[in-house]
Every structure is written in structure tokens, then in C-alpha cells.
Structure 1
């Protein structure tokens, strides 16, 4: 993590000022939240529509901060503590992170995409971690605040850092890429997330492609080669080092065989037809993420044996096809972290492919931020659910009613139900589910569908 004197920090933030009395004060790490601040931290007070972190500077010092930033336009600056005066505390945080990144020898892997970026981040870190000292984005710190904090948490001895980059509008990925200056930039895919803000899949592709803006001059760009929207943008670019992954044999990396098994997914890759990779994740769609991770591992000269080891010991961020074995004999696939039409279809197809279970129950909730076509997208999900492969469909939320309306046209009476109350849904689910059954949970983050798991325990 960032360990510097205030004089060093002042040099890293253009236009900032400090009282020379405090120039030798050493800071160890950076925090923007007094609830989690640690002794020795530099506190960065951020300002939003409904909060102002400058009001908590005294509290930050009381909890162990040794210095703080202070925006010059904020009144009543304390006079008895070490402060660095800056024009804007958020911009200063970003400038500090960028300056620190340029001082490090760490190689940065930047990952974005509509779906799968967190799982891909976890895979890359696991594969590289078999050989190198690696850090990765913690939790979901992937925005204009989270990425700077991720960079500032890097240890000086870290050899590779895997940095997830998220966005909701144009210009955001460009900012993050420019801050991180990745050695490798990856786009996992182009889906429908953020259609409400970006208007079309073309707009989403344009926004995601911004990740190349900060790519090192000799850096490697890895992308989903089956996506025409990305192909077109690559052709118009001046990128010199490019690799692709996908299902089609025109890609640099593509699967020869995929087998979804009870304990995970096994697959082979064109580069090594006699080697089988196995990962403790369920679903063919995760193989695309794995191919991107393999491309990065080869860039870093990780051999096949270490790649296989990395997949076997893979630990992914919670609520990404997380398998939960309940004491009552019911299995739950908790994939409730987020959802788009692309990832919803993949999850339902996975549930349909699984064998060895008495009943298969899909619990699906609203997919958010889909714009004017949101009901159409939900209807299309309802139309694709196969009653020959899935036994029950329980929906939660106003938009998800459209899933139920379409699915009920083909399912037996009572096997498709729509809810607006999680307690009622969980109560009915307990009557349906028995030992040997499997349940899928899938919805956008705002629906908090995972709460149904705790309700089942009551």
C-alpha cells in the first residue's frame, strides 16, 4: 500500500499544498471511510449529493488517521492537524493513485465487460497467483473511487494486479484505464447491461472499448472475438498486440470440448488438445471467462501445469454461481449478484443442463437498467425457459411478472408463480423443495434475491 511522507504525497498531487511543519509525517494507506479507517491512514474526505466527508475529518483523526486531504473551497479547516490542501478531494485521490501506479513496477491487468468481469478477475488472479505475487480488486471496488483505492492498496512487491473496471456511462472506463495504465486490457463480452444509460449495444461496445485508452503502448488487448461490435472497433483501431477468445475456431483461444459435471466444469482448449482443465464453477458460459484468463496467463509465461492448478484452487467472489449444499439435502446455486438478459439465459441454460436432481427450481427476479425494452427482455426470458428441463419457475418483482406470464403458457398449472413478497415466496418454496432438489437464484443486485436463502432458515 501507499507508504509515503506528506512531502511525497504533496508532490504526487499537482497544485496541492501542505504546512511544512508536517512534511515528514508518514502515511500508511488511504481511506475514504471513517468506519473502516486504520491507524496511520491518510483520510480522503469525499463529497456527494447527500454527504460531505469533510465533516468527519476530526473523527478520522480520532480513529487513527495521521493526515487528511482538505478541499480548498471547504470552510473551517482544522488548524491543529496535518492537512494537504487540494482543489478537489476526489480528483486528488485519482491523481495520487495514478502517480503511485507510475512509481510501481507492478504489471496491471484491466478487466471490463457486460458480464463475467468479476469472475474473470478472480480466474486471472488465481492462475497468475501460482507463480507470481498477485493482488486483485477487492469486492466491487471497480468505479471512479474504487479503482484509485485498489491502486493505492497495491504492495510495492506485487508483481501483477488484476483491476476490475465498471461503468454506467460514457467516459468512465476511459478515466479508469487512464489512471491504471494497464499492460493488458480485456473485454469479456458486450451484453445489455446499462442499456438505459447507453441506449444500445453499440453504445455499450463504445463505452467498454474505452479500456484501450490507457493501455500501455506495447500492451496486449484481449477480447471476445465472436462479438461483431468489438471486431469492428478493433479493425478501426491502431492496436498492435491483440488476442481473441470465443467459441468459434477463428479465435486464438477456443474450446474443443466442454463438460458440465456435478462438481464443476471441465474443458479442453485448442492450444493443448490433450490437456483437460477443471474449475469448480458450473456452466458453459464460464469457459469464456476461463479462456480470457488463459490468454493472460500465457502472456505472463505461466505454464499449463500451473494454469490447471490455478483453476482447481479457484475461489470466486460470492454470489457468482456459488453452490450451497443445505443440511436438508437441497442444493442452491446463488447467482444473485447481478443479472442481464445474457447472464440470465446462461444461468437458466445451466440449470436445464444439470442432471441427477429430483426437481429443478428457478427463482428469477427483475433485471434492471434495461431501458425502454425491459419488458420485452423479460418476456424473452420467459419464452426460452424449457418445461422439459426446469420444473418450477418462481419470479420476484414487477418486471419479472413478464417472465412468469410467458413461461406459464407452457408449464403445468401451479408450476409458474409470481411474487412481490420474499417471505411469501420463501414460504411457498419450502413447501415445494425437497431433499435432492436444486434451486437457482438469479436477479439484478438491486433485488437482493439472496435474502431468500436466510428466509428459508427461519
Structure 2
């Protein structure tokens, strides 16, 4: 069954199709395009029209373009529209209109990708669930996710992000969700907002596209929760709260035990005792929010609580790996790869996980295994970015962390504020730490690598992996 026929796509976009074609998927990247995909020639750093010929050579069914590129045959299968991005948006809206799926839209300063993947895991056990394979949550990612949605799916999970004010409302209205969730509001993208309250106001806009009788699932613990709740009240939207401090879905107890998180939660008269296959209090909060979304969608939250153990974080978002440095002597480094994103809230959560971890003694060069944090700059925090970095030195979790290595000019302020016994190496860039990696960590250590993507601290993750043989810790 085709995802898009030439006639359906032309009707959705108001465009002109040069030939008859059938597409099985939608792609914006010739590096990952598959035969049968409709190639969308978006203009970003490069103009997608420059890659149309390559897409067709790789087997694309057709290309969505605003004109026929010079190096493309006159009989090539093209869908010609005035504006390619608008054409993609039109495809997304048409895909949304033709499906009967129950749809959840997810936003939040921290955790939205993890929640999306948790929901994919649990909802896929209860029906056909559609969600993007990556963090496609911006002005082209949301319509692309919608345009790829099969008409016959039962559930869809749409991740919606923002960098500036005014971005969430049109994306929510495009998705038209039945349930809208805000994971949390934290100091991320503060450079574009006056305050945390301003971020909360923008995050609340996830509710603007809710269908009639839609439900908002909101974090009741955060200091800006009332802003979210007020927005729901103004729009006459039913809300469901989750959190440790009270609400409809109550997190009663969270225990980090080795490689798992044990969660005790309650909703109405139903008690839930379940586990995640990774440690993290922040993951536990998100997981209870996932049960609330599952229930609001009309799916089974009890089954979801059992199935959620099958979820593991995506790469760079808290993935736990064992790097075997000496197979003969069973020596290894435990790596917590959280190098995709960082702000003060997510860093505090990651430090808690590190503090609760168990290093191995009597292996490697040192007698005692250590808990080590390697931290890159947290970006887009606004005017108080220096103070936010320095304040990490006051984290109670540092009491149980042995050493902190830092990379970047902002993390230099944390490094200077650390007690001498916890102060490791500092470098201007993450690249400069790469060559020092064999001396920064040792077998028996548990090592957290955390920073904003732009800090390039993922280079250190790669360097640690090269010290041995990677083995994922999945239960």
C-alpha cells in the first residue's frame, strides 16, 4: 500500500505532478533515502534542489520541488509546488486529516525525546504506533513526521520543540493532538526568553492545537506548573497532573538500584509498581507521565507499566554502556553517555544517577574505582549562564562524585568553584580532552559525559569507547 500517490499528494499540496508515481515513504536527505521515497527538496544550509538528481538515481519515487532543476530530465517524476516547505506542511496536514489515530503531542525543556520513545515502546504493544525515528520536532520535523504517518496507524506520538517564542502553537495546530504533554520547564533556550516563566508560557502553547475534549498532561511539581494549568483553564481543557508532590498520577517512591529504577506510583485506586531498565529519577518522573498519557489516549496504562521496561534511552541521552578494556581480566569502564543535550535541570538528574552508581574496586591502575563526571558547556542559558555553571559546585550529588573534568569556557567557572580534591582537568575545548582520555579514566570507573551538543563533548564519548570494546547494558 502506498503512503502517497501522485494524485493524493497533488491534491494535498495543490501542486502539479509531472508523472504518475507511488511513494512508500518521505525523505529530506539523500544520505538516508530509500527506494520508493518521495524526496522533499527543502532549502536549508544547502538547497535540496541540488540533490534531486541524486535522489532519483537512488530510486526516489518522485521529488517535491518548486522548479525542475537544470540537471534533471524533463520527464522526471516531480511534484511542483510554489514553496517546498509549505508543500511539506500541506502533506503533513493531509496525513493528519486522513488518519483515525489517537495522537499525543509532547514538549518540554527536558525529556521529550525520551518520553516519545517510551510511548512508542508501550503503545506499539497495543497497536500500530507511529513516531519519528529521531528528534524531528521543529518547523520541518513536525510536518515531516506527520507526512510519514500511515493512514491506518492506531497511535502517533509527535514531539514538538522550540528555540524562540511563537514556534509551538502552529506546530500543535498542525498535529491536532488528542493529548498534549509538558514534561517539564527548565532553563533551556533562556537566551531567547526573559525568564523561566516565559518558557512556560511558550510550552503551554502545546495545548493550542488540542482537539475538542482533548486532555493536557502536565508536570505538577515544577515551579511554573500554575502557568501551564492556567493556560488549560483559560482554554477549557481538562488537565491531568503527574508528580511527586501530588496530582492525579502520584509518584510515591523512586529507588535507583544498580542498573534499574524501581517506581511506585498511584492513580485513583490503582497502584503501579514497575521498573525501568536504566537508573534515573528523571526517567521515573517521565515514565509516570507516560502512563498518564497512555491512559488519556484510551490505551491500557497497566499493560504500559509492564512493557515500559523494554525502553532504553536513545544514544547520547543517558545510554549506559560497558567499555571492556581487558577481557582476560574482566576489566571495564562503565560509560553514561548523556552528551546530546544539557541544562541545569538535566545535569542535576544525571549527577544523581552518577552518584548512585557503583564503581568496581581492585581493577585497573588504581585500587579504588571512581565516579567521574566529564562536563561540557551548557549552551543557550541566557545572561546568567556563568552563574548557572558555577552553581553546579553546590550540588549535593557532588559529595559522592570523586572527580570532575571540564571542557569549555563556561565550564571553567564550575571547575574553578570545585573543591581541590574534586577538580580534575579543564580544557578550552572538548577536543583537547580527547588526547588525555586514557589518563582521565580507568578500569573500574563509572564515567558520566554530559554537555550541550554544541560543546562537542561527544568527542570524549568516542574516545572512551576506543579504549576498549563497547557492550550496551540493556536488560
Partner of 1:3: 3
438, 452, 467: which one aligns with 1:430: 438
Paired with 1:265 and 1:255, the residues of 2 have a C-alpha distance of 13
- The reply on whether 1:404 has 2:415 as its aligned counterpart is yes
- Aligned partners of 2:408 and 2:430 also within 8 Å: no
Partner of 1:314: 311
Paired with 1:4 and 1:427, the residues of 2 have a C-alpha distance of 50
TM-score between the two structures when normalised by the length of structure 2:
0.88
Q: How far did 1:430 drift?
A: 2.8
- The reply on whether 1:295 has 2:306 as its aligned counterpart is no
Q: Which runs of 5+ in 2 are unaligned?
A: 325-330, 361-368, 468-475
Paired with 2:49 and 2:250, the residues of 1 have a C-alpha distance of 51
Please give the secondary structure, in 1, of the residue aligned with 2:146.
helix
Partner of 1:43: 39
Deviations 1:279-330 (A, max 9, x none): 0121112111011101022224444552232122113311221111121322
Deviations 1:347-400 (A, max 9, x none): 112222334553111111100011211111101112326553111010011111
Partner of 1:394: 405
- Aligned partners of 1:4 and 1:28 also within 8 Å: yes
- 1:47-446 alignment, distance < 5 Å: 47-48=43-44, 50-71=45-66, 79-236=74-231, 237-249=234-246, 251-271=247-267, 275-303=272-300, 305-327=302-324, 328-355=331-358, 357=360, 358-384=369-395, 388-407=399-418, 410-412=419-421, 415-422=423-430, 425-426=433-434, 428-446=436-454
Paired with 1:216 and 1:422, the residues of 2 have a C-alpha distance of 46
Q: How far did 1:447 drift?
A: 1.8
Paired with 2:333 and 2:53, the residues of 1 have a C-alpha distance of 50
Going from structure 1 to structure 2, the CA distance change for 1:349 and 1:411 (only over 3 Å counts) comes to farther
Going from structure 1 to structure 2, the CA distance change for 1:426 and 1:78 (only over 3 Å counts) comes to closer
- Aligned partners of 1:378 and 1:399 also within 8 Å: yes
430, 443, 461: which one aligns with 1:453: 461
- Aligned partners of 2:204 and 2:227 also within 8 Å: no
Task: Name the Cα RMSD after superposition.
Answer: 2.4
TM-score between the two structures when normalised by the length of structure 1:
0.91
Please give the secondary structure, in 2, of the residue aligned with 1:329.
strand
Q: Which runs of 5+ in 1 are unaligned?
A: none
Partner of 1:33: 29
Q: How far did 1:338 drift?
A: 0.4
- Aligned partners of 1:383 and 1:403 also within 8 Å: no
Paired with 2:301 and 2:101, the residues of 1 have a C-alpha distance of 23
Aligned residues: 449
Q: How far did 1:63 drift?
A: 2.0
Paired with 2:432 and 2:27, the residues of 1 have a C-alpha distance of 41
Q: How far did 1:78 drift?
A: 5.5
Going from structure 1 to structure 2, the CA distance change for 1:78 and 1:88 (only over 3 Å counts) comes to farther
- Aligned partners of 1:174 and 1:211 also within 8 Å: yes
Going from structure 1 to structure 2, the CA distance change for 1:26 and 1:275 (only over 3 Å counts) comes to closer
Please give the secondary structure, in 1, of the residue aligned with 2:332.
coil
Going from structure 1 to structure 2, the CA distance change for 1:75 and 1:189 (only over 3 Å counts) comes to same
Paired with 2:337 and 2:71, the residues of 1 have a C-alpha distance of 48
Q: How far did 1:146 drift?
A: 1.6
Please give the secondary structure, in 1, of the residue aligned with 2:255.
strand
Paired with 1:218 and 1:386, the residues of 2 have a C-alpha distance of 43
Please give the secondary structure, in 2, of the residue aligned with 1:346.
helix
- Aligned partners of 2:26 and 2:147 also within 8 Å: yes
Going from structure 1 to structure 2, the CA distance change for 1:42 and 1:433 (only over 3 Å counts) comes to closer
Q: How far did 1:228 drift?
A: 4.2
Paired with 2:442 and 2:410, the residues of 1 have a C-alpha distance of 28
- Aligned partners of 1:108 and 1:161 also within 8 Å: yes
